[in-house]
Every structure is written in structure tokens, then in C-alpha cells.
Amino acid sequence: MCLIALLFQVHADTPLIMAANREEFYSRGGEPPRLFDGLAAVGGQDPIRGGTWLGVNSHGLIVAVTNREKRRRPQDPDPPSRGWLVRSLLVHPTAKDAEQQAIEELRTARYEGCNIVCADCNHAAVLHAGDELRIEQLPPGIHVVANRDVNDPFDARVAQVRDWFGRHELPNTQQTLEKLQRLCASPTVCFRLDDRGTVSSSILALANRASEAVYLHAQGSPSETAYDDYSDLLRSILRLKGNTS
């Protein structure tokens, strides 16, 4: 399981904010944010198959994935990595371009079930790839996705997180980032079992100025682990495209 909260065009100065808790077996917790080899993008890296669950590129495109139930399993006994799909989508300059490639890939039904989020400051969508492929274009606002549909009212944890947003004012970017850290560390969002649980948490904010972009990451459950600041790493790749404002 994983949980993603997306604030799309909620703040004029920071059109895209994403908070994501990664939930995995502890043995597959993942590596902290890094620059991907041969790609102007950063994100965590899966230690087993080398893909990523969340990445952002120099164009300001964010791609993320959560698992999803799929009754019809792929015929391939070793289906392609969903994390590698996320990484491959980060070559694109826009969320619309990434969305189109994701549609083409997921239509092959070669992958295990998943939800793919493709978002930039101008466009956001979730691809629901369960037993059928459905694309949900997201309007401006706050959206939450876990292992079923985005904003699914029958997903208890999604409903609890949406209720949390309804009870908390987010007047500006700074207060939003502070409150998101508390949300991601809360018992509503974090969980722990003997062999798996919340293994990391990331909060990304893409502002109108590259110099104000934010990347916070807790390498461990945020209920027990402080967030480290990787903003300089993110800003360094955003400047690769000449966005030095």
C-alpha cells in the first residue's frame, strides 16, 4: 500500500504539491532521493528492481505509483516493473506526454495492477490500471489516492485524509508544508506491521520559481524519522533547463 495527496493549483505561487508515504516490506524500503543515472530527474530508488515509486524531472513533471488490486494477473510470470514504468515516464516534458505513454503501456495489460499519477503545474491525471484502464483527469483542488480510485469515498484511509484536509486551513505554501509533515506522520496515515509498513515519506512542492522548489524526505516512517531537506538537489535539476529564477 501507499498513499498520495496531491494539491493541484491550490496555491497560486506553488501550483503543485505532493505528499506521499511509501509502504513496503521493510526489506525493500528503498533508497533516499538521488539523481537518476542518465536522466535529469530525482527520486527514491527501489533496491531490488531499480525503478522508483516517485520521481520529478527537470521540467517539473512528477510521476508516482501506488499498487492496485487486479484479478486478472499478467500472463508473463515476471511482469515488467511498475517502478521502471514510472522512471521511463520521466523522460517527458509534460504530464500530458507522460500520461499518453502510460496509457499505451498499461493498455498492454502486461503490468500488475497500479495507479499512476502524472502531474505538472498545468495538468494532473490518475491512471487506474486494474482489470480495466480508466483515466481520471483532475481539476484544481486536493486529491487523495491509495490503492483504489482517487478520492474513493469507500476507502477508509482516503476518506479520513480528505476529512483532515476539510478541517485544516492551508492559507499559504509554508503552512501547508508544515501541516503535511504532521499529516504524513499521523496514525491515520502511517502504519506498522511485523514485516512491512510505512518505510519513507516525501513531500514535493513545485513553485513558480525554481529557487523556491521544496523536496523533503523522511528515510523511515515519518512518525519516527525526521524529514531531511533535498531541495537543493531538486533545484539543481530544475535549473538544467535554464529555469534559474
Residue 162: give its domain's CATH number. Answer: 3.60.60.10
The pLDDT value recorded for residue 29 is 81
For residues 233 and 58, the answer to whether their CB atoms sit within 8 Å is no
The pLDDT value recorded for residue 127 is 98
The pLDDT value recorded for residue 241 is 64
For residues 62 and 18, the answer to whether their CB atoms sit within 8 Å is yes
Give me the number of domains the chain comprises: 1
Contacts of 96 (CB under 8 A, 6+ apart): 118, 123
The pLDDT value recorded for residue 1 is 64
Domain that holds residue 200: 2-241
Low-confidence spans in the chain with pLDDT less than 50: 243-245
The pLDDT value recorded for residue 245 is 45
The pLDDT value recorded for residue 243 is 47
Chain-centre distance for alpha carbon 80: 19
